[in-house]
Structure 1
Amino acid sequence: MDHSVQSLLIGLDVGGSSTELLAVEHHPQRSPVRLVGPGANLQRVGFEQTVAVLQEVIERALRHFPEASVLSVCAGIAGCGRPKDQELLARRLQQVLGDGGRSVQVRVVHDAEIALEAAFKGDSGVVVVAGTGSVILARTRQGQIEVVGGWGYLLGDEGSGFAIARAGLQAVTHAMDGGPPTRLRELLAERFLLSERDALIHRVYQEHWPLQEFAPVVLEAARDGDPIAQQIVEDQVARLVEQVSWLLGRLKGEVAPRMALAGGLMNEPFYVSCLREQLVRRWPGWSIEVQQQRPVEGALRLARRLLKANVGSECDD
């Protein structure tokens, strides 16, 4: 490979709430660049908005590397599990990023796949992802990727921030109607100035409030001992664990006995405690740990492999 060519590796973790970018030169001359942008779940915001979000954050990164003439980009995108969607997005990004005469290669995968790569570096294992949405991925010992969940907020996303928030808001509406009292009602009024029925309905249905914003409040109430909030978290975690059991039952021992926990909810101690407790009880002999390496690191690894595949063997992992 000609070392005079300035090659830039870019990894992106594109979730429902935010996008994280990590960019580094193939032969590093300067520090990596980390940036954060808006979220862009493909199924929620659509094709054009997803492209716009990615283009904007990538172009911000390129200002730090103006000499880069070769780009190798991997984007793990929430809501982008269909190969056809991945191909269309990759082609469009390649087109818009190559307008300046650069050589551009783009690979698009589901965001859970970059978490799997970050956790196990291409080896077998299971990753449980719970953030705004939820999905479970496994790589078998033969290298095949299997998925459970990832159906989105209307059909699934059990154990996710969206599901926890929705259940929390439902508990508030029940309390308003005379059902069991919960501190969630008081916290909703304090944090979001929503204490009346009409105001809550308007915020949700007319202003299209991102419900996942209420999830940290539900987790805080659970941590502080509110029984309704605790039951919500435990129920949602149980649904996620049930999906893990479906996946492992399907694979029948064809996956290494290790599990990584990834996604934004893994920053919430009460949630992680509930999840690990239930998983360890079901699979006591497994290694079950919160993922230490961020999923965007997995995207960067895949970007490096993409560069290697296109320019030769000097681009080792």
Structure 2
Amino acid sequence: MTDDQLVLGIDGGGTKTVARIARHDAPVAVLGEGRAGPSNWLTHGPEVAMQAVIAARDAAFKDAGIANHHANCTCIALAGAGSAAARATVVRHATAAGLADTIRVVHDAEPVLAAAFPDCIGIALLSGTGSIAFGRAADGTTARAGGHGAAAGDLGSAFAIASAAIRASIVTEPPDITDTRSVAALAPAVIAAAQSGNTAAAGILDDAARALAALVHDVARELALEAPIPLALAGGVLVGSESIRGLFTSALDLDHAPTTIVENPVDGCLRLAALPIKCP
């Protein structure tokens, strides 16, 4: 197989980076997958982020048994790379690293929409280490809310949940309180505390659910989407906790279609790499 037949999808966030390889004509048939550490462009910086991207890429090619670590097209979705300037910088670094002939960089919520809906119309809500909502209307207009970075106050994120719980003495702060990943990793303990009857923890989760609902409302209002609105959910907080999904749904006063859970946003990266014309 020649590299002009291959597409590479890379999805990076505050916890991990996942890369998958597929054929250009069959992006849903994954040939190999690789994982590496976090690659949030804003939090970890270009050098660390690109090291994770390259490590995940190399692991994916190794998993596929392909010696030449080069693809024809790649779509890279990185948390913290939402601005045009950041995306241009990622492209320069990725080009220098020889990731692919054609390189497309998007923020981390866009592939969630691409993975969930063939026409890429609707709203994607991602809540992991950070949080962001992104939507696209039928005319191609897009809007986003949140996505400023966990430490900058991504409401409803694992970092925000854990930070509130630390302040309330529900969980013990990690040795390095400045390490966003270590702080965010405490979110499951907060969820467990709420399920065990801790009213303060339950209040924190209620606040998080309302904050996430507000992000979706902001995007829906800006785009004036027709009901019922297609809605996709991704990220460890929403995918990993049925209780938070329930709280979020209750807080969401919006006419939406049944939610689509996206467990592997990297599949949306593959689709955007292989069929970019479908999701402009």
TM-score grouping bracket, smaller chain normalisation: 0.7 to 0.9
Residues 77 and 108, structure 2, Cα contact 8 Å, conserved in 1: yes
Change (3 A) 1:243 1:225: same
Q: Distance in 2 between matches of 1:160 and 1:119?
A: 21
Residue from 128, 131, 135 that aligns with 1:134: 131
1:107-157 Cα offsets, whole Å, 9 max, x none, are 111011111111122331011111110011010110121111111224331
* Residues 146, 154 of structure 2: 8 Å contact kept: yes
AA matched with 1:274: L
Matched, 1:263 2:262: no
- Out of 261, 264, 271, the position equivalent to 1:291 is 261
In 2, distance between residues paired with 1:116 and 1:69?
Answer: 26
1:107 and 2:108 equivalent? no
The question of 1:41 aligning with 2:14 is answered no
Aligned residue in 1 for 2:8: 10
> 1:118 — aligned with what?
115
Match of 1:193 in 2: none
Structure 1 residue runs without a partner (length 5+): 173-183, 189-199, 310-317
Deviation, structure 1 residue 5: 6.0
Cross-structure match for 1:75: 76
- 1:217-236 equivalences under 5 Å are 217-236=189-208
Greater Rg, structure 1 or structure 2? 1
- Distance across 2 between alignment mates of 1:40 and 1:5: 25
**Aligned residue for 2:246?**
273
1:191 matched to which residue of 2?
A: none
> Which 5+ residue runs of structure 2 have no aligned equivalent?
none
- Identify the residue that residue 315 of structure 1 maps to in structure 2: none
Distance 1:209 1:203 in 2: 10
Query: Does the Cα contact within 8 Å between 2:6 and 2:21 map onto a contact in 1?
Result: yes
Q: Which residue of 2 aligns with 1:152?
A: 149
State the percentage of identical aligned residues. 27
Moved more, 32-41 or 67-76: 67-76
108-117 or 145-154: which moved more? 145-154
Q: Pick the aligned partner of 1:246 from 210, 218, 222.
A: 218
Q: Is the 8 A contact 2:132 2:144 kept in 1?
A: yes
- 1:22 counterpart SS class: strand
- Relative to structure 1, the CA distance from residue 231 to residue 209 in structure 2 (aligned partners, 3 Å threshold; closer, same or farther) is same
Q: CA RMSD in A?
A: 2.5
Q: Which amino acid aligns with 1:11?
A: G
Offset of 1:209 from its aligned partner?
A: 7.0
Distance 1:201 1:229 in 2: 18
SS for the counterpart of 2:97 is: helix
Question: How many equivalent pairs are there?
Answer: 272
Contact 2:74/2:103 (8 A) holds in 1:
yes
After TM superposition, the structure 1 stretch with the greater mean CA deviation from structure 2, 138-147 or 255-264, is: 255-264
CA distance in 2, matches of 1:21, 1:237: 30
Q: Give the 3 Å change call, closer, same or farther, for CA 161–209 of structure 1 in structure 2.
A: closer
* Aligned residue identity for 1:241: A
Look up the equivalent residue of 1:169 and give its one-letter code. Answer: I
Deviation at 1:74, TM superposition (A): 0.8
Residue in structure 2 matched with residue 302 of structure 1 by the alignment: 272
